[in-house]
Structure 1
Amino acid sequence: MPLVPLEHLDEVREELVKASKSKHRRLLVIMGDDDSRLMATLLDFLYEVKDLIASEKVLYTYHSFYSDGSMRREFFEKGAPKDITIEYVSYHKLDTVLGRTYGACIADFINNLEPNDLGKIMGVVRGGGIYIFLMPTPNRLMSTVTRFQSNLIVPGYTDKDLKRYFEKRLLNKLMEHQGIAIYDADNRYWVKKFGQVASRLYEEPKLVFPEKSKIPLKVFRLAVTQDQVEVLKIIENFYSKAEKEKMIFVLTADRGRGKSSAIGIGVGWLAHRLRRAKGRCNIIVTSPSPSNVQEVFRFSRKVLELFKHEVDSHEDEEGFIHKVTAKGIEIEYVTPFEALRTRGDLLVVDEAASIPVPLLFKLLERYNKVIYSSTVHGYEGSGRGFTIRFLHRIRNEKGVKLYEYEMEEPIRYARDDPVERWTFDTLLLDAEPKELSQEDFSLIESQQVVYVAPDEEELFLKNEDELRQFFGIYVMAHYRNNPNDLGIMMDAPHHFVRMARLENGKIVVSMELAVEGNMDEDLCRESARGAWLMGNIIPDRVIKHYKILDFGKLKGIRVVRIATHISAMNKGLGSFALAKLEEEAKEKGFDWVGAGFGVTYELLRFWLKNGFVPVHMSPERNPVSGEYSIIVVKPLSEEAKKIVDVIAKEFKQKLLGSLASPYFDLEPEVALLLLEALPDPNPKLALSKLQLARFLTYAWSDMTVENCMDVFNMVTKHYFLSSSRPTLTEKQKLLLVSKILQAKSWRLTCDELNMTLTEATSLLKETAQTFSRHYLGIGSPTEAEKYFYLHVDKIEP
């Protein structure tokens, strides 16, 4: 006898039958605090609809870290129908299911509700299928500290300080949307029924294949939407040689449109044809994570097997395919930064919105054929900003044959799916800022902009229009956004938001901020010994690398993210918002404002322009972005100024000594910007007579620079450390960084600085002569000549 009344079971079945006719999905939320009732209710509903979902596997996701989560899974496994296939996946392994299709997904959110986990599962169920969420009752949800939330409670705060706006928003959105029902398992009643969902009978589209194509019909038949067919028709062009111009395909789509599988089909066919044409084929696939490209590999393999190739798939330790090989064929995954050091017949860049635009252009310089693809609205981040920023530049590039396509048709369910609509709305995946008119630009020019500290409850839970504007600016302006960003902003007790908006209410700058520091002596000592501290990113790095405990006791504000409306960049709005933040921070007794970011010339210049001081840079590049992470701080109190001055001087010394390694590949322009922004300790230049002799012989005679590189290095460091500096051109300074401090070869130096060897060697010798005049008081070959003829008894020991 089922626990759930028959009329309640019938209600879900009838709704799912209706959904299957329109190829839409439904979401059933089962809430309860009694685990046995919760699981019995789940099984009752599952048995009622099992015949409707049996054509595909059922995904069961749970938290294996919690004993009760594992117990619920065991209870379910024992009672589950034996005639359906169930796949059990713990949340920390969710990446392995991306791209797969299920008839239903059961998600146990009792112990933890992490926004990213929610985002990952919401695309895997086919039309006619159902999501079943297991959740605690609202009272319990709002009093439990989840795993996700526990990571947001930093020293100085407790679980009572959690804001919990994300959970409140989630509950509100479940109540608002149609196609979603909520059932109370403890009391066996509907909190909310599915409601009226606008739908129409789904008709399977008839695909139209090209009459003439190099791609055989059997390959086209692997496509399931017309969008995929159109993508294959574009990829067909990549079989021809890229001679006078580079070939680029920019493919965008919302999540679940089959872009990765379409690329995989095209890549498999290309590999087959190129192997036949020239005996071998090497295709490079890159993405922020190998999990993003599993469908590319799966479908590439499927096509190669269609052409009777003997194919091997190579997996990494986590079970992700990182290489597909056949005789004469290699399709291999590498990280975006590694892709700069490899070569291939074609480069596929998946989830390109999660990769910095400068790195995307560096990849384009290296490869003649590139396919860039990105999710427009998805848990991985938004590609809309990428599309605007990247395509705007690439359309103006000379020597480029550009193809563009945006896929719209979902592959697992029909358009206007209510569950997708709920997902996008709840996680703000499709949030966008308001469009700016000429009147708005006039307001910006006349500085009719106000700095706002919003009421967060009002912003996050009531003012949906303003929230979508606020978060939409991040979606457009940043290349990395995911649902956890939203969850942190809404729940973390030490995070808060500020904005700049026009007097008509349109938001033009969004800022997410975090309070850091105010650490006690014991915590500072833990950091100095190498312990990893929650939050407190800037104090932790400063203490770890400089051992100055005093900095940890100061109170500061870290700018987690600052973004300007993409249509209003370079109009001083970001600087305006920072200046207002500093005023507020001073009034409230904060000692510093700081930020950490992947260093690029443009970003660094922005922070330096606003008076921030670089204090630390990571010794390794981020494997995805290819950037070094840097921390900048603007001291507000006298105590902070004293400490920042000390560590900035030390950082300059360290940077000068580290440009050959580990910062050998740091862009010279960035290195120069850093060196010129840091304070000057003004040390003495102490050279022996023999060192002088070698340096002067290079400067004024015929010795090569390689014979006095050690001395030139000393003099160059003195130049950058001294406040007394002779005038040098930008090219000369960059030459000093690249050739002398980074010790690069002449070929690499000339390539990097776009100079001929003659120009570079001549400029460097002129620089040596300038140094000779300014620091050594020797301005001609005649004056230098006395150091060319030395006697041993005249040389100081």
Structure 2
Amino acid sequence: MDIARSLRAEARRTNERRLLVLAGDPERTRERAATALDAADIPSAETTVVGPTAFLDCEHHEQSRAEELLGRTRTAVVLDAHGELRPDAVGRTVGAVDGGGLYVLLAPPLETWPEKRDGFDASLSVPPFGVDDVSGHFRRRFVETLRAHRGIAIVDADTDAVEQEGLTDPPPSRSVPAPTPPSDAWFRSETYAQCLTDDQRDAVQAFESLRDDGTAVVVEADRGRGKSSAAGLAAGNLAVAGKDVLVTAPQYRSAAEVFARAGNLLETLDIGFARDRASEPQRLDIAAAGRVRYAPPDEAAALPDDPDVVIVDEAAALPVRRLEQFLDAPAVAFTTTVHGYEGAGRGFSVRFRDRLVEGDHAVTDVSMTTPIRYGDADPVEVWAFRALLLDARPPVNQLIEDATPETVEYRRLSAADLLADKHLLREVFGLLVLAHYRTEPSDLARLLDAPNLTVRALTHEGHVVAVALLAQEGGLSADTRATMYEGGRVRGNMLPDVLSTQLRDEAAGIPVGQRVLRIATHAAVRSRGLGSKLLSETRAEFADRVDWLGVSYGATPELVRFWADSGYQTVHLATSRNATSGEYSVVMLDPCSDDGAALAARHSAWFQDRITAVLSDSLDDCDPDVVRAVLRATDSEPSLRLSEWEWRLVAGVPGGASVLDTNPKPFRELTRQHLSAPADPAALSAREERLLVRKVLQAQPWSAVAEGLGFVSERECMRTLGGIVERLTRLYGDLWVQEELDRHL
């Protein structure tokens, strides 16, 4: 195939990549792909097929396993999209193609492709919607980008007609001189000999600061710039110097390059080390020196075995609350992808950078812009960024910094509205990226195609300042509800699923609701009430059309108060932490109809009934301020029913006549009453309420409670609790109970 030969020749001459689209009958496109790779002189050992069938004698993965190419380079990758087109698979495979290589896309005829429904579309058709309800907007836009961008050849495989040559006729790439090693380097000189660009050299040198406690390094870069390799070179040097280096990342595969480069450096330095290859995570141990070891984020956040240095790779894919835990390390580095499916680098910057700078670490920032795998004018990278909106971002601050709730317009944005205005689409998706610690290309497809999703926004002079993404849930058939209740998987419908399967309420799938998947306000105009304004407008629009509005998220005190102030009430607090965020998730509802009110009322009551038991068990380490917030956000009036004996027990504690350990139950009921529906919200200070949570509800030892809350002694802590019980007894006890209290005092 002459076009493939020409594309490969141009790609090699410029150290860029080229994209070859073969459209038509599935078998015909696969035959032409084999011919094209043979004509381009790309051996099978350097080729990977990603798709439903292994039609070439080379490495093969399903699209669902496209992550196997992370951190690797291939001369050719063939993405077979006949069975489905997963946007995440595009994002994960296109970056694996090396400079001088080909990315080959096999697809149905482009004219009809957007109208076909495939396997990925089926994943968007959550009940009660069917696959025919899914639109083809994402693929229509995808095809438009293929036809509009440089470096992309399109061939009709059925007729062999070349619709688009894809040749750009650029000048040959110039050889880039090797970077000059720094004259004042602390790392071994062999380290800098392995750096391929000035950017990478500067990043490696920045890591040198980690030899001292109280330092932090932040490296931001797009994919293919060598940031993980730089981290690996640094980790190897620090281990040679005797440091214990703990590496973490969302998955081990994200950090595999760190270990590969560290190991290669140690071999270059001829330093003996033991490599644990038996199973992941990997570990490198240097005799009589340091080590490099991996732990997943939830384990690494506890800083096991007190590491000297922590390196967090792909940090933007982790939530801020998790990242903050690594600031307890003596020295810490964060590397992050600025644009791409791994996470949103700008989200990392906006949401975490201020907290890092305000901390105790001296921070060094490094930005890497020069590609290593391919030339810096690579047209395939430009195409991928636009097709998947990897570089989407909100409007610049100057355009919206005067926005207030009075100046904004509430907008109902359809997929057609977003497709008609590319700037609006970029601003909306850019804000949604910031709202979540992990946003992937598939989220763009869901935004444009999923029949259950709705987008609402506030705009200031035409620019997006706040955006909410909502999903319709509920309204399920009896058969679907039965399947869910019995543990069967039903796509979407997260809140009915939790309420049905975990809380055993099969009828929870009957009412129809809108769940707020994400909500974001532009960083330049936060704390002005815009998020609350957006929720208020959303409620006004949907109140007559749904039974409830709902949300589920990793609970923090600030977020719980925000949602409670917007009218949402607690109905569930998860009993296990999210492995990535490290938070306990809370479910909150804002009822809009009688059916919604009935749903919320019974789950609020059930929550009140069970919360004291789980707080002393699976939730005994939950942040007391989270506990205070979720209890305060309940709408159910707890009924304080203590027996005469229980009241006598409570009334005897302040004067020392009885002790809490005799029967904690009445004290827990009294605490729950006050935190949920206080007779006098000002009766106790925040610290006193935390004491109630830690000791009474979570049953922590006196020593841990006293230390955690800053009491000078356990005795002072006990006296304080006695005073609290006295005040609560006077607030909630009948006259005879107060007389009993006075008797002992």
For the aligned pair, the TM-score class normalised by the smaller chain equals over 0.9
Residues 98-153 of structure 1, C-alpha deviation per residue, up to 9 Å, x if partnerless?
11121121221211210111100111112111111111112553344322211111
- Is 2:701 aligned against 1:701? no
Q: Which sits farther off after the overlay, 200-209 or 635-644?
A: 200-209
Identify the match of residue 37 of structure 2 among 46, 55, 71.
46
Counterpart Cα distance in 2 of 1:323 and 1:193: 48
- Is 2:432 aligned against 1:474? yes
The residue number in structure 2 matching 1:179 is 151
Structure 1 pair 313/459, CA: closer, same or farther in 2 (3 Å)? Answer: same
Counterpart Cα distance in 2 of 1:321 and 1:684: 51
The residue number in structure 2 matching 1:353 is 316
Structure 1 pair 560/362, CA: closer, same or farther in 2 (3 Å)? Answer: same
Counterpart Cα distance in 2 of 1:19 and 1:139: 28
The structure with more radius of gyration? 1
Counterpart Cα distance in 2 of 1:773 and 1:604: 29
* Matched position secondary structure for 2:282: strand
* Matched position secondary structure for 1:508: strand
Residues 743-795 of structure 1, C-alpha deviation per residue, up to 9 Å, x if partnerless?
1223433444344436533321210221333344589999558679xxxxxxx
- Is 2:696 aligned against 1:740? yes
CA-CA distance at 1:195 after TM superposition:
4.8
Structure 1 pair 694/181, CA: closer, same or farther in 2 (3 Å)? Answer: same
- Is 2:215 aligned against 1:247? yes
- Is 2:5 aligned against 1:13? yes
Structure 1 pair 774/496, CA: closer, same or farther in 2 (3 Å)? Answer: closer
Counterpart Cα distance in 2 of 1:783 and 1:291: 65
- Is 2:105 aligned against 1:136? no
TM-score normalised per structure 2:
0.94
The residue number in structure 1 matching 2:412 is 453
The residue number in structure 1 matching 2:396 is 435
Identify the match of residue 516 of structure 1 among 473, 480, 491.
473
The residue number in structure 1 matching 2:616 is 660
The residue number in structure 1 matching 2:377 is 416
Identify the match of residue 256 of structure 2 among 290, 294, 318.
294
* Matched position secondary structure for 1:268: helix
The residue number in structure 1 matching 2:668 is 713
- State the aligned residue count: 739
Identify the match of residue 381 of structure 1 among 333, 343, 363.
343
Q: Which sits farther off after the overlay, 471-480 or 420-429?
A: 471-480
Counterpart Cα distance in 1 of 2:160 and 2:6: 18
Counterpart Cα distance in 1 of 2:107 and 2:46: 18
- Is 2:357 aligned against 1:395? yes
Residues 565-622 of structure 1, C-alpha deviation per residue, up to 9 Å, x if partnerless?
12111111111111111111124x2111111212122222211110011222222111
Q: Is the 8 A contact 2:216 2:331 kept in 1?
A: yes
Structure 1 pair 783/43, CA: closer, same or farther in 2 (3 Å)? Answer: closer
* Matched position secondary structure for 1:138: coil
Residue type of the alignment partner of 2:10: K
Residue type of the alignment partner of 1:445: T
Structure 1 pair 630/682, CA: closer, same or farther in 2 (3 Å)? Answer: closer
What percentage of residue pairs aligned between the two structures are identical?
29
Q: Is the 8 A contact 1:304 1:311 kept in 2?
A: no
Structure 1 pair 736/208, CA: closer, same or farther in 2 (3 Å)? Answer: same
The residue number in structure 2 matching 1:463 is 421
Structure 1 pair 339/446, CA: closer, same or farther in 2 (3 Å)? Answer: closer
Q: Is the 8 A contact 1:427 1:486 kept in 2?
A: yes
Identify the match of residue 636 of structure 1 among 589, 592, 609.
592
The residue number in structure 1 matching 2:453 is 495
* Matched position secondary structure for 1:186: coil
Q: How does 1:664-703 map to 2 (within 5 A)?
A: 664-687=620-643, 689=645, 691=646, 694-701=649-656
Counterpart Cα distance in 2 of 1:493 and 1:784: 62
Structure 1 pair 593/215, CA: closer, same or farther in 2 (3 Å)? Answer: same
* Matched position secondary structure for 1:380: coil
Residues 392-438 of structure 1, C-alpha deviation per residue, up to 9 Å, x if partnerless?
232233x321111111111101112100000111111111121133x
* Matched position secondary structure for 1:213: coil
Residue type of the alignment partner of 2:693: V
Q: Is the 8 A contact 1:197 1:418 kept in 2?
A: no
The residue number in structure 2 matching 1:484 is 442
Q: Which runs of 5+ in 1 are unaligned?
A: 64-68, 78-85, 275-280, 789-797
TM-score normalised per structure 1:
0.88
Q: Is the 8 A contact 1:179 1:197 kept in 2?
A: no
Counterpart Cα distance in 1 of 2:405 and 2:118: 47
Q: Is the 8 A contact 2:414 2:454 kept in 1?
A: no
Q: Which runs of 5+ in 2 are unaligned?
A: none
The residue number in structure 2 matching 1:93 is 65
Residue type of the alignment partner of 1:632: M
The residue number in structure 2 matching 1:277 is none
The residue number in structure 1 matching 2:181 is 209
CA-CA distance at 1:198 after TM superposition:
5.1
Counterpart Cα distance in 2 of 1:717 and 1:321: 43
Structure 1 pair 516/334, CA: closer, same or farther in 2 (3 Å)? Answer: same
Q: How does 1:107-186 map to 2 (within 5 A)?
A: 107-139=79-111, 141-186=113-158
Residues 150-192 of structure 1, C-alpha deviation per residue, up to 9 Å, x if partnerless?
1111222222211111111110100110001111110110122
Counterpart Cα distance in 2 of 1:251 and 1:135: 37
The residue number in structure 2 matching 1:310 is 273
CA-CA distance at 1:266 after TM superposition:
0.7
